[in-house]
Amino acid sequence: MSNEEKKLKLQDLIDEMPLPQVESERIETVGIIGGGIMGSGIAQAASQAGLDVIIVEKDEISAEKSKKRLSESMDQEIRRWGMTISEKKAIIQRIRWTTDINEVSECDIIIEAVDEDLKLKQEIFRKLDEICPPETIFVSNTSTLSLSKIADGTSRGHKTIGMHFLNPVPKVPVVEIVRGIETSDETANIAKSFAKKLGKTPVEVFEYPGFITTRVIVPFLNEAMHILMEGLATAEGIDTATKLGYNLPIGPLELADTMGLDEILAWMESLWHELGEPRYRPCPLLRKYVREGKLGKKSGEGFFKYDEHGRKIT
């Protein structure tokens, strides 16, 4: 056999060999810590992509609330003809709720979606680091906090990354991919591929308080709240002017209600503390509403009032 024939035979053997599996293609199970608005939204997006999901909640009451919230959200989509009943059933069947964090230990990727509390997130990551195999990727959905600080105390800074989803997760087509100091290129590539699998456009961001979307939106919301507090216009007037004037689908005050006023206050306080810039200092009216339990759509009242389905009452 000539050298040329040997080369051709060798090439034929190489062509017949199965291609190595890309790490992102091995993601079949997703663990989510926290089944609130963001956690349940991420769960829905992952389930719609054909992945199995386990949501960990702190207790049975919270788990039941999470189930109900997700079911009602999808029922709204069904009423709008945005989803079928069979699609909802398929999504729910791939999601399981638990109160035992150990049940996510075999998941391929675990996403933390709890409150913007650094100590809480660090505690969760350290616990996960103890129970998960070394190849598991840890993701934080933080809006403002340092990924490097969140991963502090774990043995896998290289396997830790931020994926900042925006609400409502199933509909918003972008996710910020935030690398910590130690995050490896492999982890970043898997996170980007995972985002695309969920139907999202990944945008890489350097680690810095607020990243892109939070830093841009917070001053906008804060200024709208100051205008309302100063009595220059009504909440409806402010939203109407900004919607029509800048071709926005929703005004800043209704957007704040949708996001959750307590969440926005936490973002502002974090950015104000980290950067010290006046544009991030929370409006006193926002603080007042949060103290009074007016948290937006999830509580039925914020800058506007809402019915049990989250529709604005005019």
Per-residue pLDDT for 45 more than 60? yes
State which H helix or E strand residue 193 sits in: helix 185-197
Least confident stretch, 18-27, 100-109, 138-147, 212-221 = 18-27
Instruction: Find the mean pLDDT for residues 201-206.
Output: 94
Per-residue pLDDT for 296 more than 90? yes
Q: What does the domain layout of the chain look like in residue ranges?
A: 27-205, 213-291
State which H helix or E strand residue 13 sits in: helix 3-16
Token pair recorded at residue 291: 């103290």
Q: Are both 27-205 and 213-291 of the same fold?
A: no
Per-residue pLDDT for 3 more than 60? no
**CA 300, 227, 209 angle in degrees (round to 5)?**
80
pLDDT in tens, 257-294: 999 999 999 999 999 999 999 999 999 999 999 999 99
Please report the pLDDT score of residue 308 as a whole number.
82
Edge-first strand order for the sheet with 201-205 is 95-98, 52-56, 29-33, 109-112, 137-140, 160-165, 174-179, 201-205
Phi and psi (nearest 5°) for 58? -75, -25
CA distances to 14, 125, 187, 262, 272 from 156, in Å: 35, 10, 11, 31, 29
pTM of the model: 0.84
Work out the percent of the chain whose per-residue pLDDT is above 90.
Answer: 82
Query: Which residues are within 8 A (CB) of 1 and not within 5 positions of it... i.e. 6 or more apart?
Result: 9
Q: Band of the pLDDT at 18, cuts 50, 70, 90?
A: very low
55: amino acid identity, one letter: I
Per-residue pLDDT for 7 more than 50? no
Q: How many CB atoms lie within 10 A of CB 212?
A: 15
CATH of domain 27-205: 3.40.50.720
Instruction: Find the mean pLDDT for residues 35-39.
Output: 93
pLDDT in tens, 112-163: 999 889 999 999 999 999 999 999 999 999 988 889 999 998 999 999 999 9
Q: How many CB atoms lie within 10 A of CB 232?
A: 10
- Mean pLDDT across the chain, nearest whole number? 91
Give the CATH fold of the 213-291 domain: N-(1-d-carboxylethyl)-l-norvaline Dehydrogenase; domain 2 (1.10.1040)
Per-residue pLDDT for 243 more than 50? yes
